[in-house]
Amino acid sequence: MKTNRPENPHQAALLRLLRDGPRSRAQLNDLTSDGMSRSKLNAELDRLIELDLAEPDGFAESRGGRRSGLVRLSATTRFAAIDIGATSVDVAVTDGELNVLGHVSEPIDIRNGPAPVLDRVFDLVGKLREQGLYRQLNGAGIGVPGPVSFAEGVPVVPPIMPGWNRYPLRETVSQELACPAMLDNDVNLMALGELHAGVARQVDDFLLVKIGTGVGCGIVVDGRIYRGVSGSAGDIGHMMVDEDGPLCPCGNIGCLEAYFGGSALAAQAESAARNGTSPHLAARLAATGSVTAEDVAMAAAQGDPVAIQLIRDGGRRVGQVLAGLVSFFNPGLVIIAGGVARLGHILLAEIRSVVYRRSLPLATGNLPIVLSELEDVAGVVGAARLISDHVYSA
């Protein structure tokens, strides 16, 4: 069984409006005043109901005169959202308005390659199906932690995903789940998630900086992801912050990621533990045999001066890069997200102070720099948003 798609741009625009919730025909008429007559609007809505993409939903409160019929997206609309990370995978099923109906998560190792990871993914999707969350999917959105050719739906030379280079991920998921699929990188999906249901709901132009194992940036222009010519826009982790800096795993010198991000922070924390400057970190190393970014956060919360300094140093480097981006892009909002963002307010304060000091007042006068609101679900909400943008287009 194949699900229907909108037949023209008018129908697609109506579906995107209904994605934000049920509307009366009168409200939809107000929102689409450009170029669609009331009779045309009603005909398109009736057609969407025929196609089982929308359905009647009672009547709106009277605005004086006849009560206007409410319309909503079909109650059977379902999207699968698949957020593949380096060490875990999240799978969710949403309704047409992108409310998460079910969400499961499992540890994986992306370095095992596509076959075993996708086995787990399809198992988790099957589990949600067995729970009765869907009978037929209208689409699936997929995120991976690496560069993606958006046009081809394949990862391209992803540094932390050996075995995935040019693997036909979009096609494989589309065939297995019998629905349209779209693939993007995880940072862009987090930005889409915050745009749809998080802290960027009212913002059309913003940046989302993800600080996880590595560092990346999602760029939203006019309410849409900006991907650049080949899909690599926002790959800021390998911008140079110091030409005399340390060697980065990418082969260049002094990259942002060589200074900050989960891997760099863990390495710096381990050396602080070994050289005896931080008793907190030394205790973690002795207890578990390694130190992680979370250990740094914990040590900082207990007032460990070395841990606090590591976070400040990292925040300053991110702030330097971000100050340049703010001057260049003039965003209305900057969101700090990803696992290392849980270092929280020490990190945020440092980033803010550098950006506010180094960018021009006109760019920062009205620029909130905030932490992610959706945190762990940003990726799956963004994946659902990505595929719904595709399905609700014509």
Q: Rule CB under 5 A: which residues touch Zn ion? A: 238, 248, 250, 252, 255
Minimum distance, C-beta of residue 159 to Zn ion, in the bound complex (Å): 9
Helix (H) or strand (E) holding 92: strand 88-94
* Structural tokens at position 299: 């040590």
Collapsing DSSP to helix, strand or coil, 7 comes out as coil
Minimum distance, C-beta of residue 24 to Zn ion, in the bound complex (Å): 53
Query: What letter would DSSP give residue 369?
Result: E
Query: What letter would DSSP give residue 263?
Result: H
Minimum distance, C-beta of residue 239 to Zn ion, in the bound complex (Å): 9
Angle between helices 279-288 and 262-274 (to 10 degrees): 100
Q: Which is nearer to Zn ion, 51 or 253 (CB)?
A: 253
Minimum distance, C-beta of residue 331 to Zn ion, in the bound complex (Å): 24
Q: Which is nearer to Zn ion, 237 or 331 (CB)?
A: 237
Q: Which is nearer to Zn ion, 238 or 280 (CB)?
A: 238
Q: Which is nearer to Zn ion, 54 or 321 (CB)?
A: 321
Minimum distance, C-beta of residue 326 to Zn ion, in the bound complex (Å): 22
Q: Which is nearer to Zn ion, 245 or 368 (CB)?
A: 245
What gap in Å lies between CA 336 and CA 212, rounded to an integer? 10
Minimum distance, C-beta of residue 262 to Zn ion, in the bound complex (Å): 15
What gap in Å lies between CA 75 and CA 72, rounded to an integer? 8
Pair 48, 14: CB distance under 8 Å: yes
Place of tokens 């110091």: 242
Q: Which is nearer to Zn ion, 236 or 336 (CB)?
A: 236
> CB neighbours of 318 closer than 8 A, spacing ≥ 6?
209, 211, 215, 256, 260, 347, 351
Minimum distance, C-beta of residue 253 to Zn ion, in the bound complex (Å): 8
Pair 209, 369: CB distance under 8 Å: no
Question: Residue type at 43?
Answer: A
Q: Which is nearer to Zn ion, 114 or 261 (CB)?
A: 261
Question: Number of C-alpha atoms within 13 angstroms, CB side, residue 267?
Answer: 13
Question: What does DSSP say about strands 139-144 and 88-94: parallel, antiparallel, or unpaired?
Answer: unpaired
